[in-house]
Copies of this chain bind each other. A is one copy, B any other.
Amino acid sequence: MTRLLYGLCGEDRARRFSPHVWKVEMALAHKGLDCRVVPLAFTEIPEVEGGATKTVPYLVDGDHAVVDSFAIAQHLDAAYPDRATLFGGDGGRATARFVEAFSQTVLHPAIIRIILLDVHDRLAPRDRTYFRTSREAAFGKTLEEVAAAGPAERSAFADKLMPLRSLLKKQPFIGGDTPLFADYIVFGALQWARIISPQPLLDPPDAVADWFERCLDLHDGLGRGMPAAGTAEGA
């Protein structure tokens, strides 16, 4: 059986940048499960698996097809209970929803305003009209107008990570001594920016930057294996 994970890519098909797909790639590695990742352009998503999904990540795991990163993590813990847990129990699963909500309502809206034009510029040509039209409608501004406010968003960004910075005084990961899916949730958001935008989000020294480096090293350096957008090899 080949396990398939549909993800997202830009013009460079090797540059998988979806934050939500990264959560799942890390979760699969956490559980020691192999997977073939199939990167798609935005506008290719409705064309695969007979139109089964409008969004990625979309995991096809034997007889199970699961959409949505959190649902996939729940599926993996349920289907492979003898492998390393992603939640550390029922309380961990429930409380990870708070981390997800924090990431979705605080981090993602800030990050997308910083990297919006960088994302656009790296998309496959067939995606660019779709992306510009849908995002300009959502923001009520042109991509360029959003990007013009990016530096101010960037200046305010470090403060938004205060909860994680504060937690890291107590323990090395959100999961405690070792990472859980809650860590991968926030990791995905920062990895998204790292891969698609040459603008660094954090200024070391910073406990969050250190935690992100630790996450990049996890699972034989899975996250670090994708070059940063700002590096020579990733340019």
Contact = CB atoms under 8 A, between A and B. Distances in A.
A54 B90 CA distance: 35
Interface in A155-214: 162-167, 170-171, 173-176, 180, 182
Interface centre among A90, A95, A100 (most CB of B within 10 A): A95
Interface in A60-85: 85
B162 A91 contact: no
A94 B163 contact: no
A171 B99 CA distance: 14
A187 to B, nearest CB: 14
The oligomer's copy count stands at 2
A101 B166 contact: yes
A234 interface: no
A101 B167 contact: yes
Contact of A91 (B88, B98, B102, B104): B88
A99 to B, nearest CB: 6
Given A92-B92, A94-B176, 15 more contacts: A85-B91, A88-B90, A88-B94, A90-B92, A91-B182, A92-B94, A95-B99, A95-B175, A97-B174, A98-B99, A98-B182, A101-B162, A101-B166, A101-B170, A104-B166
20 contacts: A85-B91, A88-B94, A88-B95, A89-B92, A91-B91, A91-B182, A92-B94, A92-B95, A94-B176, A94-B180, A95-B96, A95-B174, A95-B175, A95-B182, A98-B98, A98-B174, A100-B167, A101-B165, A101-B170, A105-B166
Interface of A: 85, 87-102, 104-106, 162-167, 170-171, 173-176, 180, 182
